[in-house]
Amino acid sequence: MHSAGFLSERQRRLAWVGFLLAAFQAPLAAKLVDDASWLFAVVVAMVVATVILADDAQRRRPATEAAE
């Protein structure tokens, strides 16, 4: 039996959508904007990716059996 992650299925889907939006927005903003504000989108995408990876790691960890 595997343990559940700390994200619900809905939160997980929203995290993936947020990651993809930020990942696609960063290179587009880098081409269109002269300053380095596009780096914020890169940082946001990295933070969301870290959360998704942490949730994956927790989901793959075997659930501990409750001692009876």
Q: What are the tens digits of pLDDT across the range 6-52? A: 999 999 999 999 999 999 999 998 899 888 888 998 999 999 999 99
Quick check: is 68 in a domain?
A: no
Does residue 24 lie within any of the structural domains? yes
> Rounded to whole angstroms, what are the CA distances from 11 to 15, 22, 48, 61, 62?
6, 16, 11, 19, 21
Tokens 């809905």 -> residue? 10
Domain enclosing residue 19, as ranges: 9-60
Query: How many structural domains compose the chain?
Result: 1
| Global model pTM greater than 0.85 | no
pLDDT at 1 over 60: no
Residue 67 included in any domain: no
Q: Confirm whether 4 is domain-assigned.
A: no
